[in-house]
Amino acid sequence: MHYQSEAAWHVLVTAANNLGISVQCESTAAYYCDGEINIPKSYRKNRVLALAHELGHAMQDEFDTRYRKMDDMDPKFRALQFANEWNAWKRGYDKMTELGIELDDHAIKFMDKYLFSYWG
């Protein structure tokens, strides 16, 4: 199933729910916090990609999350924050692949764009 389909959205939401994570569409920004993922309704075209990324954060273990809150820290730690974000994208990508969600060039470019936004 294509990542922009309703079926892909429902499959990924179910996967999140099966991990004990609720998915809401009520915020203006995508985030994961305390067992809840929020994806803005305005993310229609790329909402599955955003959900996969936030689910990637939810699936991170303690080692992966050590650098989650690096935004206000010394710039020398930005590489570590980048590594954390890459890890979340990788976990999300792997989950989509596992669930049979098909990605195209647009999806890969979208992930690259947002991953490298942490670096710049």
Helices 105-116 and 78-98 cross at an angle (nearest 10°) of 160
Residue 75 has pLDDT above 80, yes or no: no
Q: 12: which 2 tokens? A: 């990924």
Contact criterion met (CB below 8 Å) for 118 and 82: yes
- What's the whole-number average pLDDT of the chain? 87
Average pLDDT over residues 99-119: 90
- Annotated domain spans of the chain: 6-116
Read off the pTM: 0.87
Residue 118 has pLDDT above 90, yes or no: no
Q: pLDDT tens for residues 48-71?
A: 999 999 999 999 876 655 555 555
Lowest mean pLDDT segment, chosen from 5-9, 89-93, 114-118: 114-118
Angle at CA 15, nearest 5°, toward 13 and 16? Answer: 65
Angle at CA 62, nearest 5°, toward 31 and 88? Answer: 40
